[in-house]
A and B are shown apart, each in its own frame.
Chain A
């Protein structure tokens, strides 16, 4: 099949699936009550709804206090904001006296166009993969033993937000004055720092490509 016909075929499939996704999203908001239900007392419904909301808020508060109950792996680091940078310090300080071994994960996915240009390690404490694309943009995937680890990250002109990716809490530094984001997360005893001109979707794929679980 020639490439133009194939391209049209892909777009048709994409269009139909996108359309289905939109309609499904819209339909979930359409609430057609049968006439009988409309006669139910609204005051009674409101009371019940408030009770349910109160219970849900209590449960959510309990779960938030123990994030592990939801299976969310939190960052065991303390983030201290200064006017120019964020100091990130491990909550686990053993002054190098621990026998904990660092586990490093080889990336199996990087966005198209990036090639591995370097690898660097510091004993068994730190490992870094450096990639670059034809535009000269860099992508760095750095891993380190989480215990005793500390690093400073530029926090000027950026939006800092949290996302949950694959059950892990990920802190994202999204710089507004340059095309760069930093993604910080932790898995078991390994601290990860991904830096590059990438978007959230690409970052998610990189993280999944580390095959952490």
Chain B
């Protein structure tokens, strides 16, 4: 009886989440997959994933929850592209780089660098960040999550998260070191 109550609660929570965010999720998935049917599949997969991680969503209206839902949907859509690329050998339907260059809701790196006067090399480095690195950096520096918490959010080890962060910092550090020498 108790288990049924919990399952019902999760189901209600997912319904509420879906009602609130499904439109955004579909748009986001479409911006990556460029296919209505695939976008709907991606959203369904994302909702399944979110239902397994409802403990990470404290409040449906909080910015943290919004970012988490966005991240799950984005990564699920990207994962779908990569799976399909492995299946389709001729007449490739997807260009990975095009999909990743046009994800809605992303910061315009060029405009950001221009605004703060960062160099072209800094812009290149930020633009080339892997999507997972981007998510980790946002969790760490914008939301203030600790490495262990980030590891739980993305389903990796703390060591993995730590190394990715250090790599991103080191890459920028190298560029900065070179810029200062000039």
Contact = CB atoms under 8 A, between A and B. Distances in A.
Interface in A123-161: 159, 161
B67 A22 contact: yes
Interface stretch (B8-16, B50-58, B101-109): B101-109
Interface of B is mostly: helix
Interface in B78-121: 92, 95, 97-98, 101, 104-110, 112, 116, 118, 120-121
Contacts of A111: 124
A4 B118 CA distance: 15
Interface stretch (B40-48, B147-155, B165-173): B165-173
Contact of A14 (B24, B137, B170): B137
Contacts of B107: 14, 17-18, 21
A30 B23 CA distance: 9
Contacts of B134: 18
A176 B98 CA distance: 12
A201 B118 contact: no
A15 B120 contact: no
Interface of A is mostly: helix
A57 B43 CA distance: 28
Given A26-B24, A29-B23, A201-B127, A7 B176 contact: yes
B105 A26 contact: yes
Interface string A153-190: 00000010100000000000010100000000000000
Given A6-B173, A7-B175, A10-B122, 6 more contacts: A7-B176, A14-B112, A19-B142, A23-B67, A25-B70, A161-B98
10 contacts: A3-B173, A4-B169, A4-B173, A7-B172, A10-B122, A12-B142, A14-B126, A19-B143, A176-B92, A200-B101
Interface of B: 20-21, 23-24, 27, 63, 66-67, 69-70, 92, 95, 97-98, 101, 104-110, 112, 116, 118, 120-122, 124, 126-127, 134, 137-138, 140-143, 168-177, 180
